[in-house]
Amino acid sequence: QVQLVESGGGVVQPGGSLRLSCAASDFTFSHYGIHWVRQAPGKGLEWLAFIRFDGSKEFYADSVKGRFTISRDNSRNTAFLQMNSLRTEDTAIYYCAGYGGHTGAFDFWGQGTMVTVSS
Amino acid sequence: DIVMTQSPDSLAVSLGERATINCKSSQSLLYRSDNKNYLAWYQQKPGQPPKLLIYWASTRQSGVPDRFTGSGSGTDFTLTISRLQAEDVAVYYCQQYHNSPPMYTLGQGTKLEIK
């Protein structure tokens, strides 16, 4: 059973930083791209960033470009989302999702980690 | 940017009946290179992460019951849930993939309840 487990969420003040992790197990992590998607309380889903299976390319939504950085360490089966200059509107559950490479969809998801930006 | 608009925002359907959710894209999602529509559907139950149901507009993900059917092409798509069961209560999202550069947009969601 493929598994993604997010961690690193918490409460941070506006302007602060946080680094989220997405740990993979029970599949060949280095064969899969990774997305980060968030969901503000009571709201819909928003795609944030994607990194290719080998880490060669990253893509970002305009809403986070320049503030968030996606990365991965295939030797540790882990992906990351570095979030800087956080704003109150970044408060959300952050999910990582795996992508097998040909469907254009988010194939499987982690359970998410909550980030609260508040003073 | 491609905008995805779902309708209705919410609906209530009786058990055993059919539920229909629509999704409209501001641009065609049909890629001539492989003749595939890059449109996916997800189901999100309360307190859970989303789950992929359908990709390429009509291909069911492994393990998804055949009560779930995706259809449509170009800019207009439909998710149909036949023989509604109590476990189908959820919010459903459509999602598009644009490949140059890779961008992903989701609809606002449709909340499905039992009447």
- Residue A62, pLDDT score: 93
- Residue B4, pLDDT score: 96
Structure confidence at residue A1 as a pLDDT band (50, 70, 90): confident
Beta bridge partners of B70: B79
Nearest to B72 by CA among B110, B41, B32, B103: B41
Half-sphere exposure (CA, 13 Å, Cβ side) for A15? 1
- Residue A101, pLDDT score: 82
Nearest to B59 by CA among A105, A79, A94: A105
* Nearest-CB residue to A104 (from B40, B93, B107): B40
DSSP string, A59-108: EE-TTTTTTEEEEEETTTTEEEEEE-S--GGG-EEEEEEEE-SSSSS--E
Structure confidence at residue B16 as a pLDDT band (50, 70, 90): very high
Is the minimum CB–CB distance between A47 and chain B shorter than 8 Å? yes
Q: What would the two tokens of residue B69 be?
A: 């059917």
Nearest to A69 by CA among A82, A84, A79: A82
Is the minimum CB–CB distance between A98 and chain B shorter than 8 Å? no
Q: What would the two tokens of residue B36 be?
A: 């595939």
Compute the average pLDDT of residues A54-76.
96
User: Does the pLDDT of residue B101 top 80, yes or no?
Assistant: no
Question: Residues A4-23: pLDDT tens digits?
Answer: 999 999 999 999 999 999 99
Structure confidence at residue A49 as a pLDDT band (50, 70, 90): very high
- Residue B76, pLDDT score: 98
Structure confidence at residue B113 as a pLDDT band (50, 70, 90): very high
In percent, how much of chain A has pLDDT > 70?
100
User: Does the pLDDT of residue B47 top 90, yes or no?
Assistant: yes
User: Does the pLDDT of residue B18 top 90, yes or no?
Assistant: yes
Question: Residues B87-98: pLDDT tens digits?
Answer: 999 999 999 987
- Residue A12, pLDDT score: 98
Q: How many CB pairs under 8 A join A and B?
A: 61
Question: Residues A74-107: pLDDT tens digits?
Answer: 999 999 999 999 999 999 999 999 999 888 899 9
Q: B47 in the Ramachandran plot: left (φ > 0), alpha (ψ -120 to 50) or beta?
A: left
Question: Residues A31-48: pLDDT tens digits?
Answer: 999 999 999 999 999 999
| Residues of B at the A interface, defined by Cβ within 8 angstroms | 1, 38, 40, 42, 44, 48-52, 55-56, 59, 61, 93, 95-97, 99, 101-109
Q: What would the two tokens of residue A108 be?
A: 């499987």
Which amino acid appears at position A34 of this protein? I
- Residue B100, pLDDT score: 74
